[in-house]
Structure 1
Amino acid sequence: MAKNKTTETEVNVIDFINSFVDNDQKKTDSFQLIELMSKWSGFEPKMWGPTIIGFGSYHYTYPSGREGDAPLIGFSPRKASFSLYVYSPIEKHKHFLDDLGKFKMGKACIYVKKLTDINIVIVEKMSKATIAYLNEHHECACRN
């Protein structure tokens, strides 16, 4: 079975942002997201793979037998937009998207250009709902 690419690393999050993010607004937004997601999750930021900043972790196992660990919530400050990993696409969470603001939806993330385009209160609700869902359905660091 192939090794998961997105695993926790020892790269310093602040060093990553300072070297990877070349836009001042995106840098400011990145530091704001770190502060907010740390508060919402109760976990310090860690690098996952080369570009994802994650908070906490959970263990998953797919029906195929593939398993691994992933951050509870997180983001990546990509060139074109932020990738936010804060949403569990289950029916009872879909209503959050109605009031989120300006975004695009990917398979596993929400893309936003800048934080002022979205409602941070909704992002907080989405993040906490996702953590609760993961806690209920997976082995989760959020149980500690």
Structure 2
Amino acid sequence: MAEQKTVPTGASVAEFLDGVEPAGRREDGFVLRDLFDRVTGTDAVMWGPSIVGYGLQHYRYASGREGEWMVVGFSPRKASVSLYGLQLPGGEQLVEDLGKVKVGAGCLWVGRLSTIDLHVLESLVDRAWVHARG
């Protein structure tokens, strides 16, 4: 079975965010870090070269593949910001209320934070964090 490619790296989250381009995406990254730090009450960890993650949970697929993954996280990529761990059963209305997002199988994509409701995002992060812990 293949080894998991995206794992915690120990790299500096602050250094990563300082280097994000373009500048608007970098600003969004710092806003997200503040929000996720506040909601989770834990420190951010770099996962691979470009994902800022919080918490750790074990997963196992029906195929037998298993591993560890962050509970919630984000990645301020050039084209959009990816948000991880926020799609939970029963949370569809919150995702809809979030604003202008694209929904993928494992993440939500946001063009700019100014196009979404940060209070709804905070609720989604909190819901996902509590769900994983409980």
TM-score range, shorter chain: over 0.9
Q: Percent of aligned positions with the same letter in both sequences?
A: 37
Q: Distance in 2 between matches of 1:97 and 1:27?
A: 23
Q: How does 1:69-108 map to 2 (within 5 A)?
A: 69-90=68-89, 92-108=90-106
Residue 117 of structure 1 corresponds to: 115
Q: How does 1:36-47 map to 2 (within 5 A)?
A: 36-47=35-46
CA displacement, residues 76-110 of structure 1 (integer Å, 9 cap, x when unaligned) = 011100001141341x1111122111111111111
Q: Distance in 1 between matches of 2:46 and 2:17?
A: 10
**Which one is further off, 38-47 or 10-19?**
10-19
Q: State the TM-score, normalizing by the size of structure 1.
A: 0.87
One of 118, 124, 127 as aligned partner of 1:126 = 124
Q: Which amino acid aligns with 1:59?
A: H
Query: How many residues of Structure 1 are paired with residues of Structure 2 in the alignment?
Result: 134
Q: Following superposition, which runs of at least 4 residues in structure 1 exceed 6 angstroms of deviation?
A: none
Q: Which amino acid aligns with 2:18?
A: N
| Structure 1: stretches of 5+ with no match in the other structure | 137-144
SS state of the match for residue 68, structure 1?
strand
Q: Which amino acid aligns with 2:66?
A: E
Q: Distance in 2 between matches of 1:46 and 1:33?
A: 13
SS state of the match for residue 74, structure 2?
strand
